[in-house]
Structure formats: C-alpha cells, structure tokens
Amino acid sequence: MAGAKLAGLRLLLQNELRVRWRELTGETKASTLVLSGAVLLVAVHLLLWFITRGLQNVLRSPLPPEAVLMAGGLLIVMFPFGVAAGISHSVVALFDRGDLDLLVSSPIGSRTVFASRVLAVAAGVAVALSLFMLPIASIGVLVGVPQLLGAIPSLVSLSVVCASVGMLITLLLVRLLGARRARTAAQVIAALTGLLLFLASQLPTFLGGGEAVLEWLVPLLALFEPGRFLAADSLFWLPFRSMLLHPLGTLVSLASAGLVLWATVLLLHRTFAFGVGLVESGPKRQRQAHGQVRFRTGSALWVMVRKEWKLIRRDPFLISQVLLQVVYFLPAIYILVFSDTAGLDISPAVAAALALVAGTTSSALARIAVVGEEAQDLLTAAPVPGVLVERAKTLAVLVPVWSVVVPLGLWQLFVNPMAGASMLVLAPLTSFTVVRMRLLNPTTAARKDLFKRTSFGDPIIAGLEFVVPLIMAVATYLVATLSLWALLPLALVAICVAIGQARAY
C-alpha cells in the first residue's frame, strides 16, 4: 500500500513539474529560456568572482561563531518572500489548473494528490529563492569556505516550509471567504508582502536615523550577548546552522521541514478535497431586489469613461497591482522630501521621480483598460466612432493620474518654480505618451493574466512603452536643472513615438 502511494505521488509530482515547465515555455521557446538562464548564471558568477576577491580576507574557514547570526538573519529575511511565492504558486495550483475535480474523483487518495501539489509549490518557491541563496554556495566554492554549501539544504528546508505556510494561508482564505474571493485575497497578500518588507527596510530612515535608531537597537542587541536567549551559541539558532553545513543543524532543519510538510498534508488534505474548486463555496450575499432601474444620462464619452472606472473598481487585485507600482516609490520620495539633504536642492529629483510614477501608473491602468477589454467586439459594432472609444479609454486612465500629479506640481511651484513647471508639463506628457503607445498596440488578454506577463502585442512597442517613462524622468530632471542636455532624451522620446506609430501603421 505504501509503495502504491509513493508511486502515485511520484507520478503526480512528475506531471506537476512537466506542467510547470510547459507554463514557463508557453510563450518563450525552451532554447531561449535555457540560454537566458545560462547567460544569467554566468553573469552572476562573474559578479561573484569580483565580489569574492575583496572578501577573501574576511571569509575564511573556519567561520567565526557570529556567522550563524548572519545566516539566521538571512533566512528570516527570506522567509516572507518565500511565503509570498508560496501563496502565488498555491493560487495557480488550486484555481488556475481546472483539474481538481478530475483529481479528487480519481482512485488516487486526496492526501497523495495534495502532497504532490504542495511539493510542486515547494519546487516553484525553490526556483524563486535560488536566485538569492545558491550564489552563497558559489561564494563558498570560490573562496574556499565549504561550509557555505549549506545554503543548498537550507534552500530545500526553507522552500518546503514556505510552500506549506503559503498553502495553509490560501486554504484558510478559502474556508473564510470562499474560493472566488480567496483567490483575489491571496494574490493581494502575496503582492503586499514584498512591499511590507521593503518599507521595513526603510524603517531606520523613517525613525530619523542616527541616535533614534540606536535607541531602538540597544535593548535588542542585549539579547545577543553571551548567555542570553539569542546568543550565537544558543539552541535557538540550531536549525539556522544548516546554512553553515553544521551536521546536527542540517539534520534538524531538514527533519523540521519534513515534519511541517507531513502535518500540512495530514491536516489540510480534506479541506483541499472538499473545499477547493467549488467557486460557489463560502458565504453568499443575498441578492437584493431592486426596484425601477435608473439610467444616468450623459454623453457617450462619459458613459464609457464611467464604465472603465467601474470595471477597474470591481477588481481589487488589479487595483493592488497598480497601487504597488506607486507605493514602491513612496519611501524614496519621503527620503527626498523629508530627509536631511545638507542644503541640496532635491526638487529636480522629486520632479523626475513623480514623472516616472505618473508614467508607470498610466501604463498599468492602460493595460487594464485596453488589454483587459472583454467586450471589444461590442465596442467595434457600437454606433460610435472608434476615435471616441480611444478618447474615453485615454480619459479613464489620465484623469486619476493627473488628479494627483497636477496638485503636486503646483506645490512644487512654490518650492522650486522650474522643477514645478517641468513636472506640470512633462509628467502629464509622460502619462499621455504611454497611453498613446498602448493604444498603438491594441491587443486583448484575460484580465487574470494582465500582470503575469510583461508585454502584450507587438514586443517592440511594448518595450518602448516601458522605456518612455524612464527617458522622460531623465528629461524632467534635466529640464528642472536648466540643462541643454534635456533635448537629447526628449528627442529619444520623439523617436520612440515615431517608431511606435510606424509599426502600428
């Protein structure tokens, strides 16, 4: 019986890995993917070679006892990223495949099916984390510190634990919210995890730096003194010693990961079998009976604009993806505006940053409005000219962006008139140019795939759509500093628009 279960698990896991590979190569040739990976691997190791040449006097075997603290800190920092990746892969495994009904009704036990899914999620998490952890093992080989090869078993343990926690969170959301809402909630949580860690990394700056940070750190550093709970030689760090290839620590780390995997499969396989795949599961809202239906009057233009806003508002995940592109810039803007700049005029840098934010936000909203259009045939057959449809989509994207950019530009006019003027002119121009580039590259895709890929339609125009905000940010800075070099990036943007126009027609 145990042999049959292992054989079924091996068969399902092979199929999971095969499907994952097909997903990776669905839009990219396998040869291109392998070549890109090889080039990236060579580039990373060349970079590591130059780094390790400067660390040869620091990284020596045997490593000092304090090295375990650095190893533990690295694994603790990597854990939230791994959980976010685990949630993302769990969403794909539970909702995007569409094969759960078939698997649950198969003669293979639900525990075996669920175990294969968790292990497949762990493999996906391992691929994501390997970009950060495997180079550590390479450093160990390059500088003659074989203990750093412990990054490999640590990667296995961390991937299994993160996959189990990610699956637990996803299934808990299914139980609480139902499958339909759980999918959106899980995607939003996974997207926000990286943001929270990024904001946490900026905590010293938010606290004021210097003495304020020391006041917070002194009580914490006392816990790491010899004989205290978090001392380098305490049992607390035993599982983390696997990063240094400590025999007992490696054994404890792998055994703990296996125990977490076993407990996850044992406790959640029934929830997986009976609670997932049913979109109608979870609490249902009572449909309220409405009386007379009222139609808003207005021009066709504003009817279509309101329609775009309503569709965006109905999809919380898409909103979260757009806001993430904005929020990641907020710490940098905070530093520029409120940090001590020793008398430097940072207004040009602020203007450039906000121009970049305007461009990336407009690009994301244009992707939703144009690529995510689900009624393109209806719009084509509607008794309105196509120019009016494009104008409505342009306004639906630009009005929210400009409603933020224009007040900030007016505020900058009082701080630095030239920086404020450059922002008021070039930031709206950036957003308009990006939207225009998207309209020149019309294509449609499922809304659930809008942020899974980096480009849609013509790859040249899509690449230009990505590059234009960067060039315009440089131009904004140069204009704000009254540099004649600003003509160069502006000319490049004009060339990009011309190329997009030529490829579209």
Phi and psi at 65, nearest 5°, equal: -60, -30
Q: What confidence score (pLDDT) does residue 157 get? A: 93
State how far Cα 228 lies from the chain centre.
38
Q: What confidence score (pLDDT) does residue 284 get? A: 47
Angstrom distances, CA of residue 284 to CA of 183, 188, 290, 313:
16, 21, 18, 20
Q: Distance between CA atoms of 344 and 335, rounded to whole angstroms?
A: 13
CB contact set of 380 (below 8 Å; sequence gap of 6+): 386
Q: Distance between CA atoms of 75 and 86, rounded to whole angstroms?
A: 15
Question: With contact defined as beta carbons under 8 Å apart, do 412 and 420 qualify?
Answer: yes
Question: With contact defined as beta carbons under 8 Å apart, do 335 and 448 qualify?
Answer: no
Print pLDDT tens along the chain (505 aa): 566 667 767 777 777 777 777 766 665 666 766 777 777 777 776 776 666 666 555 566 666 667 787 788 888 888 888 888 888 788 777 776 666 667 666 677 777 888 888 888 898 889 888 877 887 888 777 777 788 888 899 999 999 999 999 888 888 887 787 766 776 777 677 667 766 666 666 566 555 555 555 566 666 666 666 766 677 777 878 888 888 888 898 899 999 999 999 998 888 877 776 655 444 444 444 555 555 556 566 677 888 888 888 877 776 666 766 666 666 556 555 555 555 444 556 778 888 888 888 888 888 888 888 877 777 777 777 777 878 888 888 888 899 889 888 888 888 888 788 988 998 999 999 999 988 888 888 777 776 666 666 566 777 888 888 888 888 988 998 898 888 888 888 888 888 888 888 877 6
- The pTM assigned to this predicted structure is 0.65
Burial (CB count <10 Å: 0-12, 13-18, 19+), residue 227: exposed
Q: Distance between CA atoms of 407 and 409, rounded to whole angstroms?
A: 5
Q: What confidence score (pLDDT) does residue 27 get? A: 57
Nearest to 408 by CA among 361, 454, 341, 478: 361
Could you tell me the residue ranges of all domains in the chain? 2-213+223-275, 300-504
H-helix or E-strand spanning residue 472? helix 459-480
Question: In sequence order, which ranges of 178-246 are alpha helices (DSSP H)?
Answer: 179-201, 203-206, 211-221
- What are the DSSP calls for 56-72, one per residue? TTT--SSPPTTHHHHHH
Sign of CA dihedral 212, 213, 219, 225: negative
Question: With contact defined as beta carbons under 8 Å apart, do 297 and 333 qualify?
Answer: no
Q: Distance between CA atoms of 490 and 487, rounded to whole angstroms?
A: 5
Q: Distance between CA atoms of 470 and 335, rounded to whole angstroms?
A: 20
CB contact set of 34 (below 8 Å; sequence gap of 6+): none
Task: Provide the b/e sequence for 282-306 (b: ≥16 CB within 10 Å).
Answer: beeeeeeeeeeeeeeeeeeeeebbe
